[in-house]
Structure 1
Amino acid sequence: MSMLFGRPLCAVGFAVVATAITLALPARAEPAPPYETLIEHLDRTPATLEAEALLDAARARAQQARALPNPSISLEAENAYGRSPFTGYGAAETTFSVSQPLELWGQRGARIGAARAEADAAGLRRDQSRWAVAGRLALIYAEAEAASLQHELAAEALSLTQADASAVMALVEEGREAVLRGVQAESEVEAARAVVDETRANRDAAFARLAAVAMLTEPVTSIETSLLNRAPNPFTPDARNPLAVQIAEAELDAAGEFVNVERLRARPDVTASLGVRRFEEYDTQALTFGISVSLPLFDRNTGAISAARAEQRAAEARLASLKLEAQADRSAAQARLDASITRTRAADNGVAATEEAYRLARAGFDAGRISQLELRSIRAALIAARNTAVDARLARVRAEVELARLDGRAPF
C-alpha cells in the first residue's frame, strides 16, 4: 500500500519499516476491491435487500388495492318439510342469488390512491436506504485505510526511534552522553513498539469490519485503491427538495389519502343482489333482485378518522421541521467539507515542514550540535504531523459522506 506522505532520507528507517510491514502482513495479501466495485454490489447488502423487499410489499399492496370485492352466492330453501300444507318439498321455494358489494362514494379510488401514495413513499425510502448504505461503506472503507496507514506510520516511527536510540547508545559508549540517556532511548523504543502492536490490532479489526459490511468472501489484508487521497468532486445539489424532505412530503400525501379512506368508510355499505327463485308447487320460477344498505347507527368510524387525521398532523409537523433543518444541515455539511479540505492541505504542509526539520535535526545530532531532547521533540512532532494528516483525510471523507447523505447520492 502506497503511503500518503514523503519519508526522511534515512536508510536504517527504510530497512526497519520494510521488515516491520513484511512481518505484520500475511504472506498472501488479499487487497480489498476498490470502492467503486463495492458500490456496484450494494444490492447484495442486507439493508438494501430489506428496503427493496419493503418496496415490493408496498407495490403489491397497491396492486391489491385495485381488486374489486368478491361477490357472494347463496342458496335458500323456504316452506319445506314443515306442517301441512308444507309437508315434504312439494310447496318449497328455492332461491339462488348472487350478491355484489358496491363501492360507492369513491371508496375504491380512495383505497387505490392511499396504496399508491404509500408505494411512492416506500420507493423514496428505498433510495434513502441505498445511499445510507453507500455512505456507511465509504466511511468503513476510509477507516480501514486510515487504520492501515496509522499502522505503517507507527512502524516507521518505531524505525526512527530505533535509529535515534542506536545513535544515542553509540554516544553513550563513547562517553559523550550519560547512561541515563541510553535508558531513556530504550524506553522510547519499547513505547513505540507497543504503539505498533496497538495499531496492528486496530488495522486488523478495521479490515474485518470492512469485509463483513462489504460481504466479501475473502478476508481483507490490504487496501490498494485509496479513498483518503480522493478529493470530493464539486456537486451541484438537485433543484428539488432534499431526499429527506421528499420522503416527508410523500408520507404527508399518504397520510392525507388514508384520512380520505377512513372518512369514506363511515359511509353506508351497499350490496346489490340478483337471483332466481323456483316455486315447486307451481313448477315455475321468477327473478329476484334487491339492494341492502348498512345503517351507520353505532359505528361511524370516528375513532379511525381521528387517528388518521392525527397521523396527518404528525406528518405535517415532520415536514415543517425537515424543511427548516434541511438547508441549514446542508450548509453546515458543506462548510465542514470545505474546512476539512483546508485542514488536509495545511496538514500536508505541516508534514513537509516537520520532515525537513527532522532531517536537519538528525544531521545536527550526529554532528553533536543538537541534544537528544531536541531530537526527541522534533521526532515526536513529525509523528504527530503524519497522524494529523491521516486524521484530516478521514475527516474529509466523513464530511463528504454526510453531505452525500443530505443530497441523496453515493459519496464521491
Structure 2
Amino acid sequence: MNGNSCRQRMVALTGLLAGLCPAGQAWAQSAPPFAQLLEQARTASRMAVLDADVARAQGLAEQARARPNPVVNVYAENFNGDLIRNARDQQQITAQIDWPIELGGKRSARIAAGDAGIVAAQARNRDGRLLYATELARAYAAAEIADRRIGLAEDEVEEATDDLKAARALVGAGKEARLRQLQAETELSTLEADLETAKAQKVAALARLSALVGSSVSFTGVSESLLDRMNARPLSGPVDPLQATTVKVAEAEREAAARTVTAQQRLAIPNVTAIVGVRQLRVASGPAIVAGVGIPLPLFDRNRGNIAAARAELQGAAARAAIARLDAEAGSRAALALVEAADRRAEAARRTMETAEEGYRLARIAYQAGKSPLIELLAVRHNLGVARGVILDADAARLDARANLARLQGVTITGEPVQ
C-alpha cells in the first residue's frame, strides 16, 4: 500500500534527524536505534540494581578476608582497700592482649564462600542485563507495532470513506437503498473508533519504552524498524543450552551454597584465644609476664541450625540448577521451532494479504459498477483488514520468538553480546 511505504520513509527520515540533531533539543524525542538505546540505558535504574548486587557481593567477599581483631585488656587489683591490713600494698596492674586464633580453616572457607558469591552475583548481573535487553527489544517493537496498527487503521478508514462516497452516489442515483448508506456510515464510525484505540495503544507503548530506559520524557516514536531487521536476518544456528545465562546463574548459586555449607561446618570448630600480658606488682621491683590460652567449650552452640539451613539451601540450589538445565534444553528446542514456525506463518500471512487485496480491488470495482451489493464489499474489506492484522501479528510473533532465541544465545535481538 502507498500509505505503508510513506510511513516507512517517514520512520527512516525521523531516525536520520534524530541522529543528526543534538540530544538536548526537545523536538528530537524519537527513540534512537535499538543498539544505541540499549547502550544509553546502561545508567538506568534497573542496571543500577544489578550492579549494586555485585558490589554487595564484593563487599562481603572483602569482609570475609578480615581476621578477628585482638582485644586489649587492662586490669587493676587492690588499688583501694583497708590501710590497716595493707591492702594497697598488694596493688597490681595487668595489661594483656587476647588474640583470637581461627582453627579448622575457617578463614579460607569464608573467603571461598565470598568469592563464590561474587561469581553468582556476576552471573545474575549478566542474566539480568540480557533479560533487560530482551524486554527493551519487545517494548521497542511494541511501539513500532502500535504505529503500524495506526497505519492499518488509517488505511481502513480511508477505504471505508471511499466506500461511503460510492454508497452515497449509488443511493443518490437510486441504485441503492438508504439502508446501505447507513451501513457504510456505521462501518466508518467503527473503524474511526478503532483508529483512536490504536493511537492510545501507541502512547502506552511509547510510555513503557521511555520508562524502561529511565527517560522522564516519553518518546514520540522509534527511529528504526526491528521488524524489518528480522526480515533480513537469517535463522540463527544451534544453541548450547548449557551456556544459557539461566543455567550459569543456577550453577553459580549452587557452588556458592556448597561453599556456604563448608564455611558453616568450619564454624562449629572452637577457636583458641592466646593471652599474653604484663603485670606490675607494687611490692615487686619489676613487671611479671602473664600468658594463657582460652578455649571455649562447645556444650550448647555447635552451629547445627546454621549448618542444616545451609545444607537445605544447597539442596534447593542443586534442584534449581537441574531445573534450569532442563528448561534451557527444552527452551532451546522450542525457540528454534518457534522461530521457524513464525517465519512460515509470516510468509503465509503475506500471501493471504495479497489475495485479500486483490479480492477487495475486484469487489470494489464490482460494487461501483452496481454488480454486487454493499454487504459483499464490506465483508471483503473486513477480510482484508483481518489479513493485514494477521500479518502484523505474525511479524510480532516472529520478533518475540527471535528475542527468546537470542536470550538463550546470550546476545541481544540484534546480535550484540551482553557483558
Q: What is residue 108 of structure 1 aligned with on the other side?
A: 107
Which has the larger displacement, 130-139 or 224-233?
224-233
Q: What is residue 347 of structure 1 aligned with on the other side?
A: 349
Q: What is residue 39 of structure 2 aligned with on the other side?
A: 40
For normalisation by structure 1, the TM-score amounts to 0.89
Q: Aligned runs of 1:116-265 on 2, under 5 Å?
A: 116-231=115-230, 232-233=233-234, 234-238=236-240, 240-265=242-267
Asked if 2 retains the 8 angstrom alpha-carbon contact of 1:80 and 1:87, the reply is no
Q: How far 1:216 sits from its partner (Å)? A: 2.7
Asked if 1 retains the 8 angstrom alpha-carbon contact of 2:239 and 2:408, the reply is no
The one of 292, 299, 302 equivalent to 1:300 is 302
Q: What is residue 97 of structure 1 aligned with on the other side?
A: 96
Distance in 1 between the 2:98 and 2:224 partners? Answer: 69
Paired residue type of 1:270: V
Distance in 2 between the 1:261 and 1:160 partners? Answer: 73
Q: What is residue 275 of structure 1 aligned with on the other side?
A: 277
Q: How far 1:392 sits from its partner (Å)? A: 0.9
Asked if 2 retains the 8 angstrom alpha-carbon contact of 1:42 and 1:134, the reply is no
For normalisation by structure 2, the TM-score amounts to 0.88
Q: How far 1:91 sits from its partner (Å)? A: 2.7
- The Cα offsets for residues 312-370 of structure 1, whole Å up to 9 and x where unpaired, read as 11111111222222201221122112111111111122222222222232223333333
Asked if 2 retains the 8 angstrom alpha-carbon contact of 1:3 and 1:149, the reply is no
Paired residue type of 1:178: A
Q: What is residue 23 of structure 2 aligned with on the other side?
A: none
1:74 corresponds to 2:90: no
Which has the larger displacement, 27-36 or 268-277?
27-36
Q: How far 1:28 sits from its partner (Å)? A: 5.8
Count of residues in correspondence between the two structures: 392
Q: How far 1:77 sits from its partner (Å)? A: 2.1
- DSSP 3-state at the match of 1:291: strand
Distance in 2 between the 1:85 and 1:407 partners? Answer: 90
Q: Aligned runs of 1:49-60 on 2, under 5 Å?
A: 49-60=48-59
Paired residue type of 2:281: F
* Unmatched runs of 5 consecutive residues or more in structure 1: 8-26
Distance in 2 between the 1:350 and 1:87 partners? Answer: 114
Asked if 2 retains the 8 angstrom alpha-carbon contact of 1:344 and 1:392, the reply is yes
- DSSP 3-state at the match of 1:237: coil
Q: 1:403 to 1:75 in 2, by over 3 A?
A: same
Distance in 2 between the 1:3 and 1:65 partners? Answer: 65
Q: What is residue 22 of structure 2 aligned with on the other side?
A: none
Distance in 2 between the 1:86 and 1:355 partners? Answer: 120
- DSSP 3-state at the match of 1:283: coil
Q: How far 1:395 sits from its partner (Å)? A: 1.0
- The Cα offsets for residues 188-244 of structure 1, whole Å up to 9 and x where unpaired, read as 111111111111111222222222222234332222311122215525535743211
- The Cα offsets for residues 81-132 of structure 1, whole Å up to 9 and x where unpaired, read as 2346863644322211111110111000011111111111011011111111
Percentage of matched positions with identical amino acids? 37
After the TM superposition, which segments of 4 or more aligned residues of structure 1 sit over 6 Å from their partners?
Answer: none
The one of 404, 407, 412 equivalent to 2:406 is 404
Q: What is residue 21 of structure 2 aligned with on the other side?
A: none
- DSSP 3-state at the match of 1:62: helix
Paired residue type of 1:156: D
Asked if 2 retains the 8 angstrom alpha-carbon contact of 1:105 and 1:264, the reply is yes
Asked if 2 retains the 8 angstrom alpha-carbon contact of 1:30 and 1:222, the reply is yes
Q: What is residue 361 of structure 2 aligned with on the other side?
A: 359
Q: What is residue 31 of structure 1 aligned with on the other side?
A: 30
Which has the larger displacement, 89-98 or 296-305?
89-98
Q: How far 1:4 sits from its partner (Å)? A: 5.4
Paired residue type of 1:153: L
Asked if 2 retains the 8 angstrom alpha-carbon contact of 1:354 and 1:381, the reply is yes
Q: How far 1:247 sits from its partner (Å)? A: 1.1
- The Cα offsets for residues 277-317 of structure 1, whole Å up to 9 and x where unpaired, read as 22221220132222111110111111111111111111111
- DSSP 3-state at the match of 1:282: coil
Q: How far 1:53 sits from its partner (Å)? A: 0.4
- The Cα offsets for residues 359-407 of structure 1, whole Å up to 9 and x where unpaired, read as 2322233333333222222211111111111111111121122223333
* Unmatched runs of 5 consecutive residues or more in structure 2: 8-25, 415-419
Q: How far 1:38 sits from its partner (Å)? A: 1.2
- The Cα offsets for residues 119-175 of structure 1, whole Å up to 9 and x where unpaired, read as 110110111111111111111111111111111111110010010111111111111
